[in-house]
Each structure stands twice: as C-alpha cells, then as structure tokens.
Amino acid sequence: MYGAQIAFRNYNPALGFTGSPWVGLDHFVRFVQSFQFGRLLENTLTINALGLLIAFPIPIVLALIVNQLSSPRFKKFTQTVLYAPNFISVVVVVGMIFLLFSPRAGVVNNVIALFGGEPVFFMGDPDWFRPLYIGSDIWQNAGFSMIVYLAALTAIDPSLHEAARVDGANKWQRIWHIDIPGIMPVITILFILAIGNLFNLGFEKVLLMQTDLNLPTSEVIQTYVYKAGLQQAQFSYSAAIGLFNSAINLVLLTTFNWVAKRAGQSTLW
Amino acid sequence: MTQALFQPGARLSTKKPPRTPGTWRERAADPMFNVIAVGILLVGIIAIIYPLYFIVIASVSEPNEILNGNVWLWPRGFTLEGYQRIFSEASIMRGFANSVLYTVVGTAISVATILGAGYALSRKDLFGRTFFTFLFILTMFIDGGLIARYLVVRELGMLDTIWAVVLPGAVGVWNLIIARSFFEGNIPDELREAAQLDGANDFRFFFRIALPLSKPLIFLMIMIHLVANWNAFFDALIFLNDENKYPLQLVLRNVLIQSTVTDAGGAGALDSYAAAQRLGELIKYGMIVISTIPLLIVLPFMQKHFTQGALLGAVKS
C-alpha cells in the first residue's frame, strides 16, 4: 500500500518513494488517452465477463446433480475426481494446453485429423484464446467451487425433501422448489464476490498463455502493467494503471452489493 | 402444507416411495433425471481423467507414434528415455531442490504466523482488536498493486533471495480469518481462565493447551500452504533473476511453455534438431508427470481435510 503513492509521482529510485516529484493524475490521463487503452479494457472486460457468465453456473449444476446421487461411493469418487485439477499448478495446466493442443503432435489435432479436418494452430490464433482460457478454467476450478454449494445443500432440512416426495414431487421439481431456493443466499454472495474480482481473475494464467500471435485478444490490463512496469521499468506509469484497475474493482463490488441489497438478497455487508 | 402431511417414519415402512400416479411423462421424470445426471457426470469425469492419463502414457511412448496419432489408450513403443533425461538434467534437479526448500520454509513461516496472529485476534481482551482486524481485512480489498509490491521488495533488498519468494505472500488474510474463527469457536474463554488459575501464562496456554486442541486447523493450514507454495511461480518470476534459484514451477514454465514457441524443447545440448525435438516432447510429458501426479495420488487421502477447510471458509462468508 505504501508503495502505491508512486502512481502519483515520477518515481526515481535515487530520490526514493517520498522524494520523487508529485505529478498528480498525469499518469492516469496518459493511460486513458493511450492507443492501447480501448483494446486493453475491451479484452479485460470480455474475457472476465464471458468467463463469469459461462463458468459461474456450472459448479451449481454439478452440485445439484451430485447431491441427488444415491450411491455414497459414486458420490465420493465423483467429488474427488471433479476437484482434483484444482491442485495442479497453473504452469502445468497451461503446459498441458500447449501440449495437447499443439498443431504438430497434439492429441486434439490428432482427433481432428481422424475426422478428416485440417489441423488448427490453437495457441497462435487470437480467436481461440478465449475459449481455451475459459474452458481450461472450468476444467480446473468447477469441481472445487462445487464443494461450497454441496455444503450449502447438505444444510437443507431433509424433511422438506421427504415431505415433497410424499406429495409426489419428482427430482426436477424438488431441485427447482427446494434445493435452488435453499442455496440462493450462497449463490448471491459468491456472485457478488466474483463480480468484485471481475478484473482480477487469472492474470498469471493469461500471462502464461500469451504467445506473440494471440496478443490481440490476450493482452489485458494486468499483463500490460507487468510488461510496462517490470520489463520496461516504467514504474510510476504502470503503478497508476494497476491502481486504476483496483479502483474499478472496488466500484463494481460496492455497486453490485448495493444492487443485491435493493433486491432483498443477502449481501457482503 | 407439505410439512403437516409428513409423518416421521412413514417412508421407512415402504421400500419405494409411493408410485407416482399420472401420465407416463410424470412417471418417467425421475429415471430421466438419473440418466441425464449420470451422463453429465461421466462426461465430466472423462474430461478430467483422460487428459491426465494421456500425459502419463505419452511420457513413456515413442514420440513419433504420438506424432502419427497412434497413441490413444495404451503407450506405443515403450521408452524411458524422457525420464532418464529429466533425472540427469541439472537445472531440473536444482529446481526440484529449490522448490522443496521454498515450500518447507514458506509453509513453516506461514503456518507459524497465521496460527499466532489468528489466536491473538481471537482473544477478546486483545488491545486494539477491531483496529488490527480491520487493517488485515482492508488489504483484501485494496492492494498497492504489482509494481508497488515489486518496489517494496526491492527497497528491502530481498530481490534474488529466498525471502522474496516466501515472505510477501506469507499471511493470507482469508486463512487468517479461518484460523481466528476456529480459535473463537473451539477455545473457550473459560478454558483459559481455568488454566490461568492453575498458574499457566499466555505462552504456556497457547503452546500446551490451545495448539494441541487445534490439530485439524494446523493440519489444514499445513496442507493449504504446502500445495500453494509448491505450485507458486509468479513471485519467483518477478523477484528472482538468478537461474540457480529458480523453483521447479519456473523451470517447468521455461521448458513447457517458453520453449514451445521456439520448439527448442529444452534439450539444446543434443546434436541434431530432430532428435532434440523428439526428446523435447518426451521431456515435457515426463515433467508434467513427475511434478503433478504424486500430488494427485495422495489427494484422496487428504480430501476430508480440504473439504472441511472449504467449509470453514464458506460458513464464515
């Protein structure tokens, strides 16, 4: 936090944090006016918003299904397998993508060849960056996110289910009228938290997945901060961009919390 | 209404729920659900297991067979060349040793500070308790950013030392909150008062009574940090320049990802380009296996503790 002040100064290592000249909002203005600004904002928003919309419901669906399984053994096995990828490092997951989707010897392209298709250079194609990023995110995290919903589901009073069953409600109806309303508070809170992190998610993975060829869609605000700041040593400029990013996050978080409160849902504070 | 109709034990007497009256569609609803549910789960399970399985069989297959699309369910042209090469590569072994060191030191520092701070924050008689809690939680939402973090570490003279990797992320606020809630819920004030009457001071109480009662928490914290430290690469990427200090994940990144672009395959010492490429692929598959599979094998045995942890965090939120 202390170091964040350099965003408003022209940082010079010889002068130190407090000794460098104060320039106010100059760096912010320069960023907003720069030619990359539109593209960075668009890429950051698209990848995160798409990721949220597609990935958010999947753990909920999985939890609702797993919760209905009657065999405890199959239930435990499914849970273990589904959340195992969470423990694989990001580096390895991205490494696996590069290997499996490689144009020369990747198993995916072998399948495509088997059906007579042309090999696709997945990692070099800007159009494929988003599907691969979001898909691998679901592959790695959906099972682990499922656990929280499963816990919320076990907290639902079983007598509700028994009663509904006696009344002749089938599984679809019980999920719709008992399970989903029962875990709604948890869904709302996790959704608000996800919105608050909209600009934060998975930056390390984006950086790893970047190739020179997919930059048009894969360059996001935080990877730009990393390059401008640490690789080109424009400390103050990039710190300002980073701060801009956190500010947007905070605004989003408070806005959606307020919306949820107005809608009568449970909120963070 | 449904509550009133329900009588405890009513369903226990019949083996099946009462047969649903009505049309065929209504009666088929539950079996249909089961088929769809199991179908979705099977697709998910295969989508997770097959890529991992493929990596394992590819790591012991003749690379040309993979290239020609002949490797699907079993290894073809069995070879251990990739592994031989990996275990004789100095940079990989050094990365392995560094990772073990960083993981052990990092986990020890994190667990010690989180347990200490968590316990202190759980004590209602702590001076400035609300203020300190607020300070910690503030950092969850406001953050100086990457550049500020880098410069602070640099000013402290920690660049290119082990401390740059293990210290900046040592105390995760989320874990701290889990620890605090655990102590609040499991170590009652009465216990401390009783111990004090018997002459135990704060340190003695913490080490002899509070900690032994918190084994699930300690175990959970150790597991979380072991996995997180082992898998971490980003702090090492920005704070370490000396290749001799790289942890395994960074070595992995250079071999698996960076080299894919140029296709040098991390086997530059070999004479011919084709041979280098061939071995390069094998090395990549093999490195994923040795860095990841051990973790996945012990995972089922630790599942209970992880799910408990996820729940501890969830309940509080």
Collect all residues of chain B within an 8 Å Cβ-Cβ radius of residue A100: 51, 54
Q: pLDDT digit string (tens) for B245-300?
A: 999 999 888 888 876 444 434 444 434 555 667 778 888 899 999 888 777 877 77
What average pLDDT does this structure show over A58-66? 94
CA nearest to A17, candidates B168, B144, B152, B158: B152
Residue B74, Ramachandran bin (φ over 0: left; ψ between -120 and 50: alpha; else beta): beta
Give the residue with greater pLDDT, B193 vs B2: B193
The dotted CATH code for B90-316 is 1.10.3720.10
What average pLDDT does this structure show over B151-168? 88
CB pairs under 8 A between A and B: 224
Q: pLDDT digit string (tens) for A193-205?
A: 787 667 666 688 9
Interface touch A90/B233, C-beta < 8 Å: yes
Dump the DSSP string for chain B. Answer: -HHHH--TTHHHHSSSPPPPPS-HHHHHHHHHHHHHHHHHHHHHHHHHHHHHHHHHHHHTS-HHHHHTT--SSS-SS---HHHHHHHH-HHHHHHHHHHHHHHHHHHHHHHHHHHHHHHHHH-TT-TTHHHHHHHHHHHHH----HHHHHHHHHHTT-TTSHHHHHSTTS--HHHHHHHHHHHHHHS-HHHHHHHHHTT--HHHHIIIIITGGGHHHHHHHHHHHHHHHHH--HHHHHH---GGG--HHHHHIIIIIIHHHHT-TT-TTSSSHHHHHHHHHHHHHHHHHHHHHHHHHHHHHHHHHHHHHHHHHHHH-
State residue B16's pLDDT score. 52
Structural domains of chain A, ranges and CATH numbers in brackets:
2-262 (1.10.3720.10)
**Which pair of structure tokens corresponds to residue B7?**
């009588």
Distance from CA of B46 to the nearest CA of A (A): 9
CA nearest to A4, candidates A265, A257, A238: A238
Interface touch B147/A208, C-beta < 8 Å: no
Interface touch B44/A167, C-beta < 8 Å: no
Per the CB < 8 A criterion, the answer to whether A188 and A260 are in contact is yes
Residue B95, Ramachandran bin (φ over 0: left; ψ between -120 and 50: alpha; else beta): alpha
Interface touch B48/A143, C-beta < 8 Å: yes
CATH 1.10.3720.10 residue ranges for chain B: 90-316
* Dihedral sign (CA B167, B172, B175, B176): positive
Collect all residues of chain A within an 8 Å Cβ-Cβ radius of residue B2: 160, 163-164, 166-167
A72 CA to centre of own chain: 31
What average pLDDT does this structure show over B31-51? 92
Per the CB < 8 A criterion, the answer to whether A10 and A23 are in contact is yes
State residue B149's pLDDT score. 83
Collect all residues of chain A within an 8 Å Cβ-Cβ radius of residue B287: 95
Collect all residues of chain B within an 8 Å Cβ-Cβ radius of residue A239: 144-145, 147-148
- Is B20 a residue whose pLDDT tops 60? no
- Is A105 a residue whose pLDDT tops 60? yes
Interface touch A107/B314, C-beta < 8 Å: no
Residue B178, Ramachandran bin (φ over 0: left; ψ between -120 and 50: alpha; else beta): alpha
- Is A53 a residue whose pLDDT tops 80? yes
Please, is A73 exposed, middle or buried when counting C-beta atoms within 10 Å of its C-beta (0-12, 13-18, 19+)?
A: exposed
Interface touch B29/A99, C-beta < 8 Å: no
Q: pLDDT digit string (tens) for A172-184?
A: 999 999 999 999 9
- Is B13 a residue whose pLDDT tops 70? no
Collect all residues of chain A within an 8 Å Cβ-Cβ radius of residue B261: 211-212
State residue A117's pLDDT score. 81
Interface touch A95/B49, C-beta < 8 Å: no
Collect all residues of chain A within an 8 Å Cβ-Cβ radius of residue B3: 159-160, 163
Distance from CA of B120 to the nearest CA of A (A): 24
The pair phi, psi for residue B37, each rounded to 5°, is -60, -50
- CA–CA gap between residue A139 and residue A51 (Å, rounded): 12
Complex confidence, ipTM: 0.84
Interface touch A95/B5, C-beta < 8 Å: no
Per the CB < 8 A criterion, the answer to whether B40 and B34 are in contact is no
Per the CB < 8 A criterion, the answer to whether B226 and B103 are in contact is yes
